[in-house]
Structure formats: C-alpha cells, structure tokens
Structure 1
Amino acid sequence: MSSFLSNEQLRNIAAEYGTPLYVYNADRITEQFQQLKQAFNSEKVSFFYACKALTNVSILKHIKSIGCKVDCSSINEAKLAVHAGFPSSDILYTSNGIAFDEIEEAVSLGININIDSLSNLEKFGKKYGHNYPVGIRLRPNIMAGGNLKISTGHDTSKFGIPIEQLSDIVRIMQQYQIHIAGLHVHTGSEIKDVAVFMKVTDVFFDLVPHFPELQFLDLGGGFKVPYQDQEEGTDIQALAKEILAFEEKIEQTYQRSFQVWFEPGKFLVSEAGYLLTSVNVLKETTATTFAGVNSGFNHLIRPMFYEAYHRIRNISNEKGEIKNYTITGNICETDTFAWERPMHEIREGDLLVFDNAGAYGFEMASNFNSRYRPAEVLVKEGKSYLIRKREVFEDLLRNLVEPF
C-alpha cells in the first residue's frame, strides 16, 4: 500500500467529510519513523516526537503505538501525552520562559525535564536538589534553520542558557547538588546540512567533563522535509553514520556511554498531512486570476508567517490545461497561499489539496474572523476515521461570559 494518499482517496474523503478538512495518513507517519529506526539501528538512540507539530490525541496514540516517545513544549502537551497513554519515562518536557510552577507540575507527572534558564535552574535546585534528575537546554550560538523565525540556536535567540554562562550552570549545579542528567541543544528547523548537527556534538564533546552524572545528549529536531519537488531533505543515513561515530569517539575518550536523543516533529507528520479546500470563486483581473478557496491563514498560516511553500494541486480536473493562478483565502486579510502558480485549470467548486500540511497546520489554526476550525480525519490502513469534529457556531460561544 502506498504511503501517500491517492487523489481518488482524497476526493472520496472530501465527499464524506466536507471541506476545508485536514487529512493525515498514519501509514506515512509509520514509514518516516521506521526510516529513522533503520538508519540509526542503535539502542543508544531514542526518538521523541515533537508534538507541537500536531497534538491531536489520535495522532499521539498512533505515535505511541509505533514505539516512538514524545517531546512536549508545554505542560498541557505533557498532559495530553499522559492522556494518550505514554508512560512518564517516554515523555520529555522542555520549558521555555515559563513560570516555575509549570516545572513543578512537570515534576509531579514524573516526566523528563529540560530547563532553559539560570533562574529556573536555581529554583529547581533549591526545591529538589539531587532528588530529581534534570536536563538543561543550552544556546550554542549556532545559526541554523530555513528561516530566522525557526532558528533557535543563534546568539540573539531567547532559547536556552547561553553557552558562555557555563560557569554559572556549574556553580548552581554544585551549590544545590543538582543531578544534571542531560544536555539539550535545538538549533532550528528545516536543517538539511548534517554538519550543523555535528557542530552540536562538538559542543557536547567539550562539555561532558563538567557534568559527572550525564546520561543523555539531546540534539533536538529540525530535520528538513522537502516541500518543493526539487528539494532534498536531511540525509538521515549520513546523519546516522556521523552520530554513531560520535558515540564511539566520546566513549573512547571519556570511558562513558550516553543516550543520544532526537526530537523529530515535522519529519514524522508533515508529508502525512493534506489540507483539502474547495474553490469558492474565480476572479480575473489584468494582473492575475485569483482562485479563492474556503480557507485562509486561520487554517494554514505557514505561507504567510514563514513565507513557506506548499504544493497545491487541483484534484478535480487532473487533465485540465495548465494555467497560472493566485490562490487566496476567504478572510479579511491578505492571505495569499501562492502567486501565479501553474496548475490544471481551476473551476468554481474544484478541490484543491495542499500537500505537506501535517505539521504546524491545524496546530496553528485559529478562529480569526470568527470562522470555524476544520475537521480532522486520520487514514489508517486505507480506512478513514474522524478524529476531530468540525467546529460549529456554539463553539464560538463556548467559555464566553455575558455579564450584561
């Protein structure tokens, strides 16, 4: 069975559930995870799905079922992971600029924790001392990622404790006898160059002697996913070869063995996802022909926020003449998905599918213009399942208080 859904499957799903609609293919997620497992083929390497990419509980349950662990960026993501059935040992929580009571709640769940500020590290030491192993997130001053907005390791990034504050980290660790179990570095997203990951291992290599109780080295995520036909993703086989060589080097040098952790998010779910939309209206002007669909940046903000490219295909008129169209949304802002994109001739009512919509699609959706968020469907072994209902008017009123 193909790990990509056919146009016929997508048309049938749209007919059954309506549009706009997010569709995810569980088999593709499984295939991506197996690619990682087979490339590394080591019990010393673990993968934690960065669930900020897509937190639907049915997706989390599928991730768990294939043997992948989960990485969380908020306490609520961690609680969703618990709800989905992950054991605490398989949940990683990396804090960022949060109040200390969120870390306290993470401790109460018994999960793995990374701390990213000296302030919270000191508070952690005062309260827990050596009683709860913890990791620290470092800022290595490495520029990486496909866009400044998704680069998190450079010298002006808010993420992590700056590497130049190492002496302060060690002082706090020693003062409160904190059990530093891991070091974490995430430099950004859309990283194609394997050498970027190896720069992080160089940082880790130099830091190991400062932390006598280290158990894991976490390189974050950021594997590149090809969004355009001519693009290439991260060479996972090459990365695995380099990482396994690093493990051997560090063991020989320090006579110590470590787990290596990765946090793939987009890599696992992006290509598994599709956004199905219907064409509301065609508008011809002297400059272009607009095709307005029943969606907008309230459903898929990546093209506007990151200037991200998504393939868009007309699956209702596959043999139509190729023409150029500007694909836009239906909200009261500039929500252009694509300018002058060559596509099979578009007619009102046609279905347009946005590929690579599994990561940061629904997850970043909103009710802007008081429009409803779409339904979500999971396809597993060829059968479709509704995993989130389409919103209705009552959802817009939920939690509102009308005092007058």
Structure 2
Amino acid sequence: MSDSAFHYVDGVLHAEGVSAASLAEQFGTPLYVYSRDALTQAYRAYADACAGRNATVHVAVKANSNLAVLNVFARMGAGFDIVSSGELARVIAAGGRAEHTVFSGVGKSAAEMREGLEAGVKCFNVESIPELHALNEVAKSLGKKAPVSLRVNPDVDAKTHPYISTGLKSNKFGVAFSDARATYAQAQAMDHLDVVGIDCHIGSQITEISPYLDALDKLLELVGQIEADGMRIRHIDVGGGLGITYDDETPPAIGDFVTTLLDHIGKRGHGAREVYFEPGRSLVGNAGVLLTRVEYLKPGEEKNFAIVDAAMNDLARPAMYEAFHRIVPVVKRDAAAQTYDVVGPVCESGDWLGRDRELALVPGDLLAICSAGAYGFVMSSNYNTRPRSAEIMVDGERARLVREREEVKQLFAGESILPD
C-alpha cells in the first residue's frame, strides 16, 4: 500500500482525498480501489531514470489489465508488454499503440501471432524453436517479416517463490542458455523472421539487484557470440520482476534499480543498444487495495476467524502462493485487539486472506487488504458462482467507477440447459 496514496485522516483510511469508508458505502464490497497518483509516481520513477538514456518502459499488462489503469500509463507515453491477443486488444482500447507493444508468452497460438503481426507489434519474444517455425509460417502467409527477440533462460536463481521464478533450467520459460546461440542461427535462417533483440526474465517479486546483474552478464556475453555469427542485436530486454514492500521487504528504489542496470550495460560496452524494461508489480502493486466487510466473528478453540465478504476468488495470491498482504482497519477502533485468521465465504479451507492478524473488530467493520493492485483482480474468478468485484480509480478527491460489479445472471448468460 502506497503510504502517500493510502493514509489515515482522523482515524479513517483515505485513498488520496477520498474516504475508503465512503467508497465502500457508495460502491459496495468487495471493492478494488486504485490511486491514479500512485500509478503516476511509480511510472515516472521508471521514466525519469530512463530519460536521456536509450531505454524504454513497457508496462506488463498481466499485472493489472483494467482499461483505466492502462490508460493512465498510455497517456504518459508508456509501451506495453503483453502475453495474449486479448491483452493486445485491451492495450489498443486503452489508448496504447501496437508499435510500442512487445508480445511475450510461451504459448502463442497462430491466431494470436496473426493478430500481432496485423496490428504491427514492436517485437515478438519467442521462447522455443517450434514457436519460431510457427511464427515464420504465419508471417509468410501475410507476406510480412516478424521482428523477433529470443527469450533466453540464463539459469539464474532469483531467490523468489518457486511459482514466480522463471529463469531456472527447471522452468518452462525461454530457450536454454546452452542452446541459445544455435537457436539464434536457426531464426536468422528463416526468411520471414527479423532477429532484432534478446530477452530475459528471471522471475517476479525480486528484492535484490544482484540476480539481474548475474543474468545480464550471461546475456551480454551471448550477444557478442551472436553478433560474431553475423546477426545484429538492436535491443536488450531485461524483463520485469522488481519486487515491492508487502510486509518488511526492502527492494531497491526504482530509480536506483534502473540506473544500476543501465550503467552496468554501458560499462560492458553495450550502451548503444536500446534497453527495454517491463515492470508490472512495481508499478501497480502498491497502487491498489481491496476493501472488504466483516460478516461474522467466529471464535474457536484454536483460532478466531474474521469471516469477510472477500474471498480467494477475489484475491488468489494468499491461497496460491501463501502470499502476505497487510490487512488494516478502514476505521481505527479504540478497543482491545484479538488475533484472527481473516477468511472468506468460499467453500475451501484454502480460502484465507490473512493469518494471525491482530485486529480490533466488530461485525460490519471494513478492512483494507493492502498491496492488492498487482495480480489481484486480474487473477480473480467466479468460483462458487461469485460475481467479481467492482473497480474504482481515485483521482484526487474524485472516485470513478472503472469496472462495474458483475451480476449473477451475467455469469451463466452464455450457458444453456439441454432440450427436452
């Protein structure tokens, strides 16, 4: 949670200049609330560090794909990083430009490749030899050349959760480092591919710079070998993955992170190449909270439970990754706190949002689940036939509904029963 965007005024949590309690009253709960100012400040930290350098920022759409969120970045001139043609459609609908968009993803279909080529995306990050052949055939059918960067797996341990580590030999992503040079040679030999760059992404929620530098050293060594084989690498894509503070993590400041990587690339003699950054979580994570209301307090012999109206279908990260999110009261209560597990109404033991939290509560109280702007709504589902929540963007003292709450009837509108 961004302390500048989300803060208390007279004991009441505010999102910028708007009371979170008033938002819950007006729009209901569960409710995702985003701060435009927090989004803007995070993006500017990247953009300012890239200013005057041969570097560009491509927002990772998968972290938060709400059109209003993407539009905030598009207005500031951001590029985008996508992993599906659906995300490409969102970028364009939000005011982004295909020619500033990088198409990543390990399993692009031929239809998605076609849509990307027809739209004119900036580059395809390709992850296997079969994908190279498929892209070459699609480009041939359209009479085009597809700009290609290979995602190389450097086998660097990012020291993060196994589910969000992507740069090890055991991960499904990328071309093995030992195979990369030969794979580039194959790409170069295909008539409808234009080899333009090299890409790397080692994981997510990384709170140290050293794994990036280790990966860069291997990548830059490989660039020299590839160019010795007659190819020209115009850009280096360092991916995303910079972590945020959920609890007590101390990730580097965005500006320090960007400057350190760019300086390292320059010192290795590669400063003339364009560098792509693909941040996601570090842009949106602490720009959002999830508001939820306490339905029941259930004491037990071993645990006390605060049962709230948000659930694992609204915020999957705790159930999926055992992820920690701070949980704070919307209105501070001057009373003795008790220890609660904060859980939802979904019919799963894994439906929890926070364990062993010290909170002073009565039924009906509002809670804010912090740092929910990344991988929150985008990973939500309709499990238990639960409508997904509304999303709100706060801009100063104004709050705008940027996604309506779903209704139950929408969830089965496309279904049908069997005929007699």
Interval of TM-score (by shorter of Structure 1 and Structure 2): over 0.9
**Structure 1 CA distance for aligned equivalents of residues 379 and 159 of structure 2:** 19
Give 1:127 shift: 5.2
2:152 alignment partner in structure 1? 138
Shift of 1:98: 2.9
Deviation of 1:391 after TM superposition, in Å, equals 1.1
Which residue is equivalent to 1:247? 265
1:174 aligns with 2:188: yes
- Report deviation, 1:42: 3.2
C-alpha spacing 1:289/1:197, structure 2 compared with 1 (3 Å): same
Instruction: Select the residue among 226, 233, 237 that pairs with 1:218.
Output: 237
| Counterpart in the other structure of 1:31 | 41
Q: Could you tell me which residue of structure 2 aligns to residue 298 of structure 1?
A: 313
Q: Secondary structure of 1:97's match?
A: coil
* Partner in structure 1 of residue 76 of structure 2: 66
> Which contiguous aligned blocks of 4+ residues in structure 1 show a shift greater than 4 angstroms?
none
Contact 1:317/1:346 (8 A) holds in 2: no
Alpha-carbon distance, 1:180 to partner? 1.1
CA change 1:359–1:105 in 2 (3 A) is: same
| Alignment CA distance shift 1:67-1:318 (3 Å) | farther
Q: 1:237 to 1:56 in 2, by over 3 A?
A: closer
Q: Secondary structure at the match of 2:286?
A: coil
Letter paired with 2:393 = L
1:352-389 deviations in Å (ceiling 9; x for gaps)? 11000101111111111111111111111221000111
Q: Counterparts of 2:33 and 2:371 in 1: how far apart (Å)?
A: 11
Q: Is the 8 A contact 2:199 2:237 kept in 1?
A: yes
**1:106 and 2:116 matched:** yes
Between the two proteins, the alignment pairs up a number of residues equal to 399
Shift of residue 86, structure 1, vs aligned partner: 1.3
Q: Quick check: 1:279–1:347 contact (8 Å CA) kept in 2?
A: yes
What is the match of residue 333 of structure 1?
348
Q: In 2, distance between residues paired with 1:264 and 1:240?
A: 11
Q: Deviations over 1:57-95 (max 9, x none)?
A: 111111111222111111110111112121222111103
Aligned residue in 2 for 1:48? 58
Q: Does 2:403 match 1:382?
A: no
CA deviations 1:150-186 (Å, max 9, x no partner) are 0001011101111111243133123225421111100
Q: Which residue of 2 is the match for residue 227 of structure 1? A: 246
Equivalent position SS for 2:146: coil
CA distance in 2, matches of 1:351, 1:173: 55
* Map of 2:256 onto structure 1: 238
Residue 376 of structure 2: aligned partner: 361
Secondary structure of the residue aligned to 1:180 is: strand
1:81-160 superposed matches below 5 A: 81-112=91-122, 113-126=124-137, 128=139, 131-160=145-174
Q: Which amino acid aligns with 1:3?
A: A
Instruction: Answer yes or no: is the 8 Å Cα contact 2:110–2:138 preserved in 1.
Output: no
Q: TM-score, normalised by structure 1?
A: 0.94
| Sequence identity (%) | 30
For 1:38 and 1:58, locate their aligned partners in 2 and report how far apart those are by CA, in whole Å.
Answer: 22
Q: Does 1:22 align with 2:24?
A: no
What stretches of structure 2 of length at least 5 have no aligned partner? none
Give the match for residue 177 of structure 2: 163
Q: CA deviation at 1:145?
A: 4.6
Instruction: Name the aligned partner's letter for residue 219 of structure 1.
Output: V
Moved more, 63-72 or 37-46: 37-46
Q: Which sits farther off after the overlay, 142-151 or 298-307?
A: 142-151
- Given that 1:250 and 1:257 are in contact with CA atoms closer than 8 Å, whether structure 2 keeps it comes out as no
Q: Which stretch of the first structure deviates more once superposed, 151-160 or 163-172?
A: 163-172
Higher mean Cα deviation, 139-148 or 355-364? 139-148
- My pick for the range that moved more, 18-27 or 123-132, is 123-132
Alpha-carbon separation, structure 2, partners of 1:170 and 1:350: 58
SS at match of 1:144: coil
Of 71, 77, 98, the match for 2:87: 77
**In the alignment, residue 367 of structure 1 is paired with which amino acid?**
N
Please state if 1:313 is matched with 2:332: no
- For normalisation by structure 2, the TM-score amounts to 0.90
SS in 2 for 1:179: strand
In the superposition, relative to structure 1, how do residues 39 and 387 fare at CA in structure 2: closer, same or farther (>3 Å)? same
Seen in structure 2, the aligned counterparts of structure 1 residues 4 and 300 have a Cα distance that, compared at 3 Å, is same
2-side partners of 1:250 and 1:42: how far apart?
Answer: 19
The one-letter amino acid paired with 1:380 is D
1:10 aligns with 2:29: no
